[in-house]
């Protein structure tokens, strides 16, 4: 079956622009996670949804970051007024139980 | 707060040689432990996981890992490395079943022929 998909795969934004990153989880997966992976680092947790409820957003680095999952399926991570330090790969993962399945990520470059 | 340390940033092994990647975690209770592999441009793929029970766990692609509570370690091993194993490997800890993961910084594995 289809895995987790993310779009776009690559995004270049000028500093100050808003961006929206999309995640399509595996069908039926209740939990959805967003992680940020800076160059040369491991992924860092951003936020977590169970169905449409955002249960943990403790990892969002600033109020410029916003995530939603309105119908409990597709999720969007939005970054307002992008800064150079936002350049990273944004990974989405979904899970039904204990194992998280990761998408290929969106590489965001802020110039 | 929980943390994960992977002491080796890069490791180079010869094809056919054995491999051990180190992972140490910090967490007060019994952790949920994972090893993931990431190839360039790819997402993370789960190799194996430990929740409870037998401390030696088997995973995909011939990998295994051993949980040692006394050493707070969860080292990944493979008896004979193949060139296709070249990738970046991440150890991760979860504090609750199905909850967020905390990752180490990763170890890049190079395989020389």
Using alpha carbons, list the distances in angstroms from residue A95 to A11, A105, A111, B58.
26, 16, 34, 21
Please indicate whether residue B28 or residue A33 has the higher confidence score (pLDDT).
A33
Beta carbons of B97 and A41 less than 8 Å apart? no
Q: pLDDT digits over A35-46, tens only?
A: 999 999 999 999
**What local confidence, expressed as pLDDT, does residue A1 receive?**
55
Beta carbons of A102 and B44 less than 8 Å apart? yes
In this predicted structure, the answer to whether residue A65 has a pLDDT above a threshold of 90 is yes
**What local confidence, expressed as pLDDT, does residue B30 receive?**
78
Beta carbons of A95 and B98 less than 8 Å apart? yes
CB < 8 Å to A33, chain B = 100-101
Closest Cβ–Cβ partner in A3, A56, A98 for B51: A98
Pick from A65, A25, A29: nearest CA to A44: A65
Cα–chain center distance at B87: 12
Q: pLDDT digits over B50-98, tens only?
A: 988 889 999 999 999 999 999 999 999 999 999 999 999 999 999 776 6
Using alpha carbons, list the distances in angstroms from residue B16 to A66, B81, B107.
47, 5, 19
How far is residue A61's CA from residue A46's CA, in Å, rounded to a whole number?
8
Q: What is the mean pLDDT of residues B29-39?
A: 91
């Amino acid at each position: 079956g289809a895995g987790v998909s993310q779009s776009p795969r690559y995004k270049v934004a000028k500093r100050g622009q808003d961006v929206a990153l999309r995640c399509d989880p595996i069908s039926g997966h209740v939990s959805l996670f967003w992680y940020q992976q800076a160059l040369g680092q491991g992924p860092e947790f951003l936020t977590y949804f169970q169905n449409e409820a955002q249960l943990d957003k403790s990892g969002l680095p600033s109020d410029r970051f916003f995530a939603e999952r309105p119908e409990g399926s597709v999720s969007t991570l939005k970054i307002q007024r992008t800064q150079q330090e936002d350049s990273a790969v944004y990974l989405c993962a979904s899970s039904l139980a204990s194992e998280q399945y990761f998408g290929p990520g969106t590489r965001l470059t802020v110039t | 707060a929980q943390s994960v340390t992977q002491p080796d940033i890069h490791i180079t092994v010869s094809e056919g040689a054995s491999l051990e990647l180190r992972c140490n975690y910090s967490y007060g209770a019994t952790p949920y432990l994972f090893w993931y592999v990431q190839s360039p441009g790819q997402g993370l793929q789960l190799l194996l996981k430990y929740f409870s029970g037998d401390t030696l766990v088997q995973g995909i692609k011939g990998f295994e890992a051993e949980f040692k509570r006394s050493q707070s370690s969860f080292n990944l091993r493979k008896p004979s490395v193949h060139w296709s194993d070249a990738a970046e490997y991440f150890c991760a800890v979860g504090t609750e079943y199905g909850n967020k993961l905390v990752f180490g910084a990763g170890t890049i594995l190079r395989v020389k022929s």
